[in-house]
Structure formats: C-alpha cells, structure tokens
Amino acid sequence: MNGPASISSWTTNIKALVDLDIHLRYRQKGKKPYASHHRPGKIPNRVSIDDRTAMVEKRLRLGDRGLDIIIGRKHCPAQVSLVERKSRLSLIAYLANKGTERVKQNIIDLCPPLSKVHRLTSDKGKEFSADQSIGQSLAANFYFAHPDVSWQTRLNQNTNGRIRQYFVKSTSWTDISEEQINRLIEKLNNRPPKSLGIKTPNQAFFRSQSPVALES
C-alpha cells in the first residue's frame, strides 16, 4: 500500500449502503486484542481530559472525536483511527510510520469530510505529541485521557475490536490495499452498533448535520 486511504473516494460512496455479506471474522480466545499497545510518552503542555466539557461525554453534538493508533505486525506500519462520538462514524488511514508529523497530517486529512471539529481526545501515546498543532489546524481542542482509566478511551477500543474482526492483530498493513481499507470503512459505518439501536453510523451522522447550538 503506497499511502493513506483516499478520503475523496470514500466520501463519494459513504452514503451508499454496502452489501453486508457474510464476512469471516476472527476472534482471539482468551485475549482482548483491542488495545493499541503503543507506549505513552511525555507530551509537554498536554491538556487533561479532566478539563474537557462534560457535554462531550453526553454525545449531544457532532464534532467530538476520539483518536487512536492501531498497530500492525511488528508494530509498524499502523493505522490511525478517528471515531465521531455522537454518530459513531469511523475513519481510518494508513500510517507508513508512526512519526509525529505523519500522524498529525493524517488526522488533519481525515477531518475535513466531516462536520466541524470541536474536541479531540486520545490516549497519551507519544504519536500524538503534535496535539497543539493539530488543534490549531482544525480550530479544535485536544485532550488526553488518563493512562489507567480504560473507560475514557472505550469508544476507540471498541472500534479497534470491530476492526480486528476483519483484520487480525498479526495483519501487516502493508499487505492491505486501499480498496480493502475503504470497504472496511463502509462496513463499519453501515453496521448498527448497540448504542444507536437500529441506526447505522452513516444514518446517524447524515441525519444530524444541523445540530442545535450548544456551548462551545
């Protein structure tokens, strides 16, 4: 795979319902392969999730998103994942390496197809050390979860688990084509999670494009 999944090709087809054919899903017994397993680093001037408005947890608006890194075989390359909290809409993009600048650019590239960004939240992985620059580029606030409080990043961990149902932990992302990544994104966004009842993330997102004005 030569670069990030094409955002433009994904947005062209995102509203179309995909064929939810039977897909072989892998599960690892006795383990939860959902964690990203990337080491936390010291990030100067990071802003704690404790300072984040409570509205984010209530999922009252579009634009609050969780971020994570999904590690491939031998820890590199990887995928950066972005999940919209209210609609559960998911995007992922290929990372040839986990360098700060590469992660930063992929996050910035993933956000424009969606609504305005308000809040971004990640764990304390050093890959996110460009948090202030990302926030400035997107006119958003960036927060970091506590390393030992799993519920604060549960949304992304659950999404990682869904991704692992299609591509197991031992997968080498270099062997996965752009077309396969785009098909995975479509499958994730057209599969109703429990939190949305019978709605898919696509339906929840595109029917909520005019949210009520709330505190910023």
Whole-Å CA distances, 19 to 8, 24, 114:
21, 14, 23
More confident residue, 21 or 148: 148
Average pLDDT over residues 30-40: 46
Among the ranges given (18-22, 69-73, 194-198), the one the predictor scored with the smallest mean pLDDT: 18-22
Digit-coded pLDDT (tens) for 140-188: 999 998 887 777 788 888 888 888 888 887 888 888 888 999 999 999 9
pLDDT of residue 183: 92
pLDDT of residue 209: 54
For residue 163, give the amino acid letter: I
Cα–Cα dist 203/200, whole Å: 5
Q: Is the pTM higher than 0.75? A: no
% of the chain with per-residue pLDDT over 90: 31
Domain 7-206 maps to which CATH number in 3.30.420.10, 3.40.50.300, 3.40.50.1360, 3.40.30.10?
A: 3.30.420.10
Cα–Cα dist 105/107, whole Å: 5
Whole-Å CA distances, 204 to 20, 142, 188:
18, 24, 13
Among the ranges given (4-13, 53-62, 136-145, 164-173), the one the predictor scored with the smallest mean pLDDT: 4-13
More confident residue, 42 or 183: 183
- Residue 70: helix, strand or coil by DSSP? strand
- What is the average pLDDT score of the chain? 77
pLDDT of residue 113: 62
Report which DSSP code applies to 40.
Answer: B
Among the ranges given (78-92, 116-130, 171-185, 202-216), the one the predictor scored with the smallest mean pLDDT: 202-216
Average pLDDT over residues 188-208: 88
Q: Which residues contact 207 (CB under 8 A, 6 or more apart)?
A: none
**pLDDT above 80: residue 127:** yes
Would you state the structure tokens that stand for residue 35, as one six-digit string? 């964690």
Average pLDDT over residues 181-202: 90
How many other C-beta atoms are found inside a 10 Å radius of the C-beta of residue 44?
A: 7
- Residue 37: helix, strand or coil by DSSP? coil
Cα 32 off chain centre by:
18
